[in-house]
Chain A
């Protein structure tokens, strides 16, 4: 897809503006108590970005602790099976603690430790991957950590709950609302409001009030920077060229923005985000904010203006996805803006397609993906055969699937 030649070039580096806006999206919609904390966070972050010592310490930990750079893997058998484009995987599942979430968790935890006079971290988690990453970074840096998690999610992601506890984190269950990610965020924000003078809220996606969407994007952009160089370098497993298409799943959208962002200026590269189609758009049980014309509308949820699944009265809709990590009613504001300006596209993958992607990657590549990441694979099962053999797809394989074995066993186990 190409941008209209009559329009002036979009300056992707100019967002967010000073007030945290990506076009009409973003902003800071929070209770007054938190406004000074957001200003403090922004100042600390802007300061850290230009502090060589901080950036070097972060880079050192990313290399020696997280295991970065994560590899690029050519998915030979999957590509052959689908008979179209050549498929490459950016292996965030191999990052320490099992997902891309560690990139942001470590960045923010180090920021708090080195630049802010705070001693305690609260975080929310859906799939548990961000909770585990935050618990990991907190253990590494010796920080007290509390993670809020919906009771429904605690049930479906039991191994991750235990993992967090092993890492010394207290997991608090959230019984309100839909008992999933959105409610865990509400509860984490309530804790933050109450303990703001000692506590940093380590938000896990490119969501929430400014400066979170920009800061989380920046910490995750290491994915795209590495992939940009690896793709062009055969010695690093790449095809020696940029991909034609990049595909990533989108819940809040942090893994997607992390891989998209360093490619925004590469206009030959299509960027496709895959939302959770759940039981299908017509069914209503899904989390596809961009795909549901009736309920996916401009709104404000948890500090940011973006597309929000809601009813006609502005009450937030209940969402469904087989993957707890994509089960969220809103989407990062930068995705909404990139979609408006025509730079990225969004589609969705149903639970059923997702399981097909999950099985394909297991059986053909020996990789058990997270159900979140399996949404990107599920969509590629459709996309790749429509493309030529000399074309290239890059999938951001954002996490590994050990945590999902229970869910998958319940869903497809009976078939065996």
Chain B
């Protein structure tokens, strides 16, 4: 099975059992290299279905303060693209089988060499790729490379996306489409946006691909509500914050379990 197959399998299995995929993000290299590897292992154990493997960039323009601070700290600690791929390999060697999506901005990938990066990522056990500042239309190099290596190309849609752009993203995406819940940057928010169900519905009319919702989700009950309308729940900042807190790994474990439970609830249980 290649990366796309492994991601497809996650959503096929969930269709049978009910509930949505729990898809946590972590900023690799934060708080330290070794701790970030342990965070990913803990997320997998707590019930993550797909893990977003954050490769830090100096200029994360789609990210809010929590992830900005974490990725900056990871870079100061010497985290490199190659080392992030090595961390993926180490986790695979330890038997962690949860699909991984590498998530970074375009410039580190461009500097690494697009084809070389995709091959190295697939070789290190990655299954998909998410690049927030690379919309379809600018990815004429990266997309064929991902196809050849069997990596999923995950594109994003936002509440501002027009019908034309929804169609275009649906054509170029493999694996799942990442729906940005709000017009804004990453970061925990108290409330889910009221327009979210209508937005999901609008995208659903154009595609059968699984839809994962991210940005702003931080609690188990929010996850459960998202699980009612989408096939995946992405959580980043809240978990990164937990990883950087005094309790560290224990805080990550406890929050991840709540989020996994919320995401995996079937329609009937969510009330």
* A residues lining the B interface (CB < 8 Å): 19, 27-37, 39, 176-177, 182, 186, 189-190, 193-197, 297-303, 308, 310, 312-316
Contacts and interface: CB of A to CB of B under 8 A. Distances in A.
Contact of B160 (A37, A177, A298, A301): A37
Nearest to B162: A36
B183 A193 contact: yes
Contacts of A33: 158-160, 180, 183-184
Q: Which 6 A-B pairs have the closest CB atoms?
A: A314-B111, A314-B108, A33-B158, A194-B184, A315-B58, A32-B156
A35 B106 contact: no
Interface in B110-168: 110-112, 132-135, 137-138, 155-162, 165
A301 B108 CA distance: 11
B169 A32 contact: yes
B107 interface: yes
A416 to B, nearest CB: 40
Interface residues of B, number: 40
B161 A32 contact: yes
A194 B180 CA distance: 12
A301 B111 CA distance: 12
B72 interface: yes
B62 A312 contact: no
A302 B59 contact: yes
Nearest to B56: A315
A299 B185 contact: no
A297 B107 CA distance: 11
Interface of B: 57-62, 64, 68, 72, 75, 80-82, 106-112, 132-135, 137-138, 155-162, 165, 169, 180, 183-185
B110 A177 contact: no
Given A33-B160, A190-B61, A299-B111, 18 more contacts: A28-B137, A31-B135, A33-B158, A34-B160, A35-B165, A177-B59, A186-B60, A190-B62, A195-B183, A196-B160, A300-B107, A301-B107, A310-B107, A313-B111, A314-B81, A314-B108, A314-B112, A315-B57
Given A27-B138, A32-B169, A186-B59, A193 B111 contact: no
16 contacts: A27-B138, A32-B132, A32-B161, A32-B169, A177-B58, A193-B61, A194-B184, A299-B107, A300-B106, A300-B107, A301-B59, A312-B111, A313-B81, A313-B108, A314-B109, A315-B58
